[in-house]
Amino acid sequence: MCQILIIYTGGTIGMMSDPRTKALVPINFEQIMENVPELERLNCRIKVHSFEDIIDSSNMSPAIWSRLAGLIQKHYDEVDGFVILHGSDTMAYSASALSFMLENLAKPVIFTGSQLPISAIRTDAKENLMTAIELAKAKKNDRVRVPEVCIYFDYKLFRGNRAFKYNSSKFEAFRSPNYPVLAESGVHLRFSINDIRKPGEGELIVHKEFTSDVAVLKLYPGISPKVVENIVNSDVRGIVMETFGAGNTTTDQWFTDLLKGAIDSGKVIVDISQCKVGTVELGRYETSKQLKDIGVANGYDMTFEAAITKTMFLLSQFEDPKEVNYWLEQDIRGELTVS
Active site members: 12
Angle at 176 between CA 238 and CA 297, to 5 degrees: 25
- Residue 125: CB atoms within 10 A of its CB come to 25
For residue 132, the surrounding DSSP H or E stretch is: helix 125-137
Q: 295 to each of 174, 206, 266, how far by Cα in Å?
A: 33, 30, 11
Give the residue from 96, 132, 143, 145 showing the smallest Cα distance to 333. 96
DSSP secondary structure code for residue 248 in this structure? B
State which H helix or E strand residue 322 sits in: helix 321-328
Give every CB contact of residue 150 below 8 A, 6+ residues apart in sequence: 95, 108, 109, 110, 111, 135, 157, 158, 159, 160, 182
Helix H or strand E segment including 255: helix 253-264
